[in-house]
A = this chain, B = another copy of it.
Amino acid sequence: MSVTISKTKDIPTQIKNKELVERRRRQIVDAAVELFMKDGFHKTTTRQIAQAAGISIGLLYEYISTKEDILYLVCEAIHAEMHAAVSVALERTEQGIHPLAVAIREYFLVCHRMSDHIVLIYQEIHSLPAKWRKVVLENELKVNALFSEVLASIISRGELPPLEARVLTLTAHNISVLGHMWAFRRWMLSASYTINEYIDIQTDFILSRHLCGGRAGLWPYVSR
């Protein structure tokens, strides 16, 4: 799966031609994504990346300055693609019988398509320098925010009962993570469920929380 780079990056380069930087970095990122998914960040050598990108190691280091730079570019590119895909997907929430069900379906399908990329980020984020790790994690939150907005919008249209803000936020996290779960447990889940079955069951799981009037009325369940 090819991956797009969002903006001119804060990573320095020796090359003057901006478009060239854009093009070469896309080559580098596309090559690196494949290799990282196959062997992981640490087992992949810069020489391999350069070769797969079709340039020399010397030239590679004109476009980045450390190997970690490449990982950062990769994470950014993946998040850009995730964010774009989810944004597009969530615009369709007007169709269908229940808008939240549509949102979940579209989002889960994005997770399905990009599952290798999602797993890659889970696995390699700790190899990033702390400064960039923070940036990548905050990007993750932006995808989450998309969900919070959709939830809020659905509620404001009266199609879901109101929720406390913190319950709403956590619901967004849950949807987000249950999507990721398909990615990193796919090797096991896909033996028992197709992606559509998975979506159906999980949609039921998430929606019933809201469609039967909030709390089940047994609160608190446990005395502490």
Residues of B contacting A169 with CB < 8 Å? 192
Q: What 0/1 pattern do residues 211 to 224 of A give for CB contact below 8 A with B? A: 11111101111111
**Separation in Å of the A5 CB from the closest CB of chain B?**
25
Interface 9-residue window, one of A25-33, A53-61, A81-89, A121-129: A121-129
| Residues of chain A from 149 to 199 with CB closer than 8 A to chain B in the complex | 166-167, 169-171, 173-174, 177-178, 181, 184-185, 187-189, 192-193, 196-198
Range class of the A interface residue count: 35 or more
Contact A212 to B212, CB < 8 A, known contacts A97-B221, A181-B173, A192-B169: yes
Q: Does B178 contact A218, Cβ atoms closer than 8 Å?
A: no
Q: What 0/1 pattern do residues 91 to 129 of A give for CB contact below 8 A with B? A: 000011110011001000000000000000011001100
Q: How far is it, in angstroms, between the C-alpha of A99 and the C-alpha of B108 when the chains are bound?
A: 31
Q: How far is it, in angstroms, between the C-alpha of A201 and the C-alpha of B212 when the chains are bound?
A: 16
**Separation in Å of the A207 CB from the closest CB of chain B?**
6
Q: Does A205 contact B102, Cβ atoms closer than 8 Å?
A: no
Q: Which residue of chain B lies nearest to A125 when distances are taken between CB atoms in the complex?
A: B123
Q: Which residue of chain B lies nearest to A39 when distances are taken between CB atoms in the complex?
A: B126
Q: Does A101 contact B205, Cβ atoms closer than 8 Å?
A: no
Residues of B contacting A181 with CB < 8 Å? 173-174, 177
Contact of A211 among B105, B137, B174, B218 (CB under 8 A): B218
Q: Does A222 contact B105, Cβ atoms closer than 8 Å?
A: yes
Q: Does B207 contact A96, Cβ atoms closer than 8 Å?
A: no
Q: Does B178 contact A96, Cβ atoms closer than 8 Å?
A: no
Is A204 engaged at the interface, CB distance under 8 Å to the other chain?
yes
Q: Does B40 contact A126, Cβ atoms closer than 8 Å?
A: yes
Residues of B contacting A223 with CB < 8 Å? 96-97
Spell out A's residues near B (CB within 8 Å): 40, 42, 95-98, 101-102, 105, 122-123, 126-127, 137, 141, 166-167, 169-171, 173-174, 177-178, 181, 184-185, 187-189, 192-193, 196-198, 200-205, 207-209, 211-216, 218-224
